[in-house]
Structure 1
């Protein structure tokens, strides 16, 4: 990545703590009182403190979206999936921590993605789960394993590296629920694009509904196409083509090393708060975990082994609600793909192994979806891939745990190589996702537009094997 140091840390102001009385109001769920105090502080405080208080106000505004259900509504929803579920039992699930919830203004509210998490967090529910028919998921697993085996075979034949390119044709679309004329003109839209690096060697912009005002450089850390919409135009789409390749190399632990004076080490061994932070608890744990390791690669293996054995995959709140994601994952032993990747990155950097973020979409033709993973750097091999959630031992299949430390299958669209990097051109208001960029961002001249005001869709138009 060229010029990466010029992209500012857009969450730097989060290092400023909230006043104790505000924190206590938020802890008790007294959001209206907290909001009033935060508004006063935002209006009377200098920057960057004012920005910190504005960020907290944005969190409060999103709580209704994040926790939409009453206890009774959530119970009725889960009862459709669990045989003979009673309201008393549902209350017990809440008290056991199986149902994600928050107390808001004295009322228990349930998280929008509580249902799948309940099965992951309390496995005793699974035996009573009503079947929905999962043949598509089974086929996805079979073809994923087949693809991984082909990558391993092809890489070994050529001596390692990038193999088996796929050419994807993709259409990405943002649809507004109200027109720019109603919202305020222009409506500014950023749609993620593949970066040209690593697994992606080629990219071509093919077509669009509205001509982009600007397309970020191929190596931008969070690459996007930027649009401005006017009048009654409520939809913008872009169609593009890119290649994605699998990757595998055989690592010899005796050869693997880290040059602490290299540019890679200087850039990717440092803290980057708030979500890559070397807290005392993490430092102490990583030191114990990696003590006596014979090589940097063995340190990575120990970190990988601990995460993939101990951390459960669960859906998360939007990342805006977390002050320090790796600390949360380490403490709670749970988190989604990006949260596990951030813990891996942070622990690797503490251990002296350069590591970085990568994210975008998992591009399996049967089941594409947003996804995050990580990379770590060892001489003489360069950047290697690590996908803790895909390699998690709880998913079953030893092949996953082995393959996804160092390798990737090539079903990937990577738009981002960094967390909370500034867009090109920059966004004015707090982003809907202030950490990552997978479905795009939208704003008007006066405010950010959150996900409840627009929709994003990514369609795989075609996939072609090139080798």
Structure 2
């Protein structure tokens, strides 16, 4: 089987309807969420009258409006169309789900959890609805929901032992092999199905990458692609898989000690993009600018400024499962106000605050790969003249604080671990080839995307899996 290195023109189709029509939203339209809905439509959306709000969007789109507002209306219309599907659990069903494990649970306790922001809700056509995975968010805080089954435990002692070895050796290297797959069971034979699975990309900590087995017809993007994928286009298959191996090295740097003579990342390049805004999320809002100035204060050393930002996030932001990122507005600004978020939300908040402070910062994402768990994960890189490029994992830092492990919280400022797979080096990067339909997640790709006849698949239309094949330290 030969790996193709180019794709015919039909694979480069991009859907981009003319201004003033209600054609399918394009992925590029998400950049214009910062424009904002007209006030009367925004009020309908927030009140949960989605049908009226969508109709109002259609009315405006049929008239003479600016391209920027048209793009915002298209993407907002699309998001509202998905909202009811994602917030699909009624209040009665939410109570029943909790009471199936905790029979004495009361409605007042439910309202208390909502008020404490442990549960995310929306109003859909006037009715309060919950995310389908709201129970998972509750299990993160077992002391607040003692009647629920605890979330599946992971071997934190094994992770802490690995971090100890990192500190002793000045770093740690792993060789890892994974098998990933995506299946679109509802696709009809003869329909053109396209699928993208993330695979390891060349980056400062990752090397010796080998995609060694795959479903025939694969196109593997270049190693330095900002969102590296294995891609297929087929009218016969609806299931695709790839196996790969790679080596990942996690250096250890004590950021409280003098900077090492040589930076741990050899490439010290900083670009304008590392300090720039990137709508709709990496935006220097007035609140974030004020908050960053307060957090950084009169600290002079950039490494200590970045540490102050990391400390603020990890000590104040609590973990909570999020709706799909396509549904979130200005992620860092809302995280800073709500003090809730998941790994990507915290990473984006750190990156944005660093850039506001004049500290170059970048996105990295892919998988967390431990012996007992493999799943999507996001984190950040940041740069100072003293230390060069280093890493920050605010999510792991926040969970360490929650568990009372200060040593682990401190570790994840400046350092990661070798239990990772890096597929993405840019937030909001395009796939290869560009998606011909609106993506499930237009900002990141950790588990895979698919389209059928140019229509982007929803999460529940895709079956995506990851299998750990081999993992050992070297």
2:98 alignment partner, SS class: helix
Assess, with a 3 A threshold, how the Cα gap between structure 1 residues 407 and 10 changes in structure 2: closer, same or farther: farther
Query: Which residue of structure 2 lines up, in the alignment, with residue 101 of structure 1?
Result: 121
Off by >6 Å, runs of 4+ in structure 1: none
Task: Please tell me whether residue 209 in structure 1 is matched to residue 224 in structure 2.
Answer: no
**Post-superposition shift, 1:337?**
0.6
User: Tell me, which stretches of 5 or more residues in structure 2 are unaligned?
Assistant: 1-26
8 Å CA contact 1:42–1:51 kept in 2: the answer is no
Query: Which residue of structure 2 lines up, in the alignment, with residue 30 of structure 1?
Result: 49
Which deviates more, 410-419 or 372-381? Answer: 372-381
Query: Which residue of structure 2 lines up, in the alignment, with residue 19 of structure 1?
Result: 38
Task: Please tell me whether residue 391 in structure 1 is matched to residue 391 in structure 2.
Answer: no
Partners of 2:179 and 2:61 in 1: how far apart? 40
1:410 alignment partner, SS class: coil
Query: Which residue of structure 2 lines up, in the alignment, with residue 127 of structure 1?
Result: 146
2:442 alignment partner, SS class: coil
Partners of 2:317 and 2:115 in 1: how far apart? 21
8 Å CA contact 1:180–1:187 kept in 2: the answer is no
Partners of 2:110 and 2:297 in 1: how far apart? 44
Query: Which residue of structure 2 lines up, in the alignment, with residue 438 of structure 1?
Result: 446
2:355 alignment partner, SS class: helix
1:39 aligned to which of 54, 58, 74: 58
**Post-superposition shift, 1:65?**
2.4
8 Å CA contact 2:30–2:75 kept in 1: the answer is no
**Post-superposition shift, 1:97?**
4.3
Query: Which residue of structure 1 lines up, in the alignment, with residue 422 of structure 2?
Result: 414
Partners of 1:369 and 1:27 in 2: how far apart? 32
User: Tell me, which stretches of 5 or more residues in structure 1 are unaligned?
Assistant: 1-7, 156-162
Query: Which residue of structure 2 lines up, in the alignment, with residue 316 of structure 1?
Result: 322
Task: Please tell me whether residue 336 in structure 1 is matched to residue 355 in structure 2.
Answer: no
Assess, with a 3 A threshold, how the Cα gap between structure 1 residues 179 and 116 changes in structure 2: closer, same or farther: closer
Query: Which residue of structure 1 lines up, in the alignment, with residue 161 of structure 2?
Result: 146
**Post-superposition shift, 1:211?**
2.2
Partners of 2:435 and 2:251 in 1: how far apart? 34
**Post-superposition shift, 1:46?**
5.7
1:401 aligned to which of 395, 398, 409: 409
**Post-superposition shift, 1:249?**
1.9
**Post-superposition shift, 1:113?**
2.1
Partners of 1:131 and 1:388 in 2: how far apart? 23
Assess, with a 3 A threshold, how the Cα gap between structure 1 residues 287 and 89 changes in structure 2: closer, same or farther: closer
**Post-superposition shift, 1:196?**
1.0
8 Å CA contact 1:276–1:342 kept in 2: the answer is yes
Report the TM-score, using the length of structure 2 for normalisation: 0.87
1:125 alignment partner, SS class: coil
Partners of 1:380 and 1:62 in 2: how far apart? 46
Which deviates more, 364-373 or 242-251? Answer: 242-251
Task: Please tell me whether residue 112 in structure 1 is matched to residue 132 in structure 2.
Answer: yes
Q: Which residues in structure 2 correspond to 1:16-415 (within 5 Å)? A: 16-44=35-63, 45=65, 47-82=67-102, 84-94=104-114, 97-118=117-138, 120=140, 125-130=144-149, 136-137=153-154, 140-155=155-170, 163-181=171-189, 185-212=191-218, 214-231=219-236, 233-251=237-255, 264-392=270-398, 393-415=401-423
8 Å CA contact 1:210–1:237 kept in 2: the answer is no
**Post-superposition shift, 1:383?**
1.5
8 Å CA contact 1:189–1:441 kept in 2: the answer is yes
Deviations 1:176-229 (A, max 9, x none): 122342xx63211111111111111121111112221x2211111111111112
Assess, with a 3 A threshold, how the Cα gap between structure 1 residues 377 and 10 changes in structure 2: closer, same or farther: farther
Query: Which residue of structure 1 lines up, in the alignment, with residue 466 of structure 2?
Result: 458
Partners of 1:124 and 1:403 in 2: how far apart? 26
Which deviates more, 407-416 or 425-434? Answer: 425-434
Deviations 1:430-450 (A, max 9, x none): 210011110111112341111
Partners of 2:207 and 2:386 in 1: how far apart? 21
Kindly tell me the number of residue pairs found equivalent between the two proteins: 440
Query: Which residue of structure 1 lines up, in the alignment, with residue 5 of structure 2?
Result: none
Deviations 1:123-165 (A, max 9, x none): 7633334457x5x52xx2011111111111111xxxxxxx432
8 Å CA contact 1:253–1:297 kept in 2: the answer is no
Partners of 1:50 and 1:435 in 2: how far apart? 20
Assess, with a 3 A threshold, how the Cα gap between structure 1 residues 378 and 96 changes in structure 2: closer, same or farther: closer
Which deviates more, 111-120 or 433-442? Answer: 111-120
Query: Which residue of structure 1 lines up, in the alignment, with residue 18 of structure 2?
Result: none
Report the TM-score, using the length of structure 1 for normalisation: 0.88
1:264 alignment partner, SS class: coil
Partners of 1:99 and 1:127 in 2: how far apart? 16
8 Å CA contact 2:118–2:320 kept in 1: the answer is no
Query: Which residue of structure 2 lines up, in the alignment, with residue 160 of structure 1?
Result: none
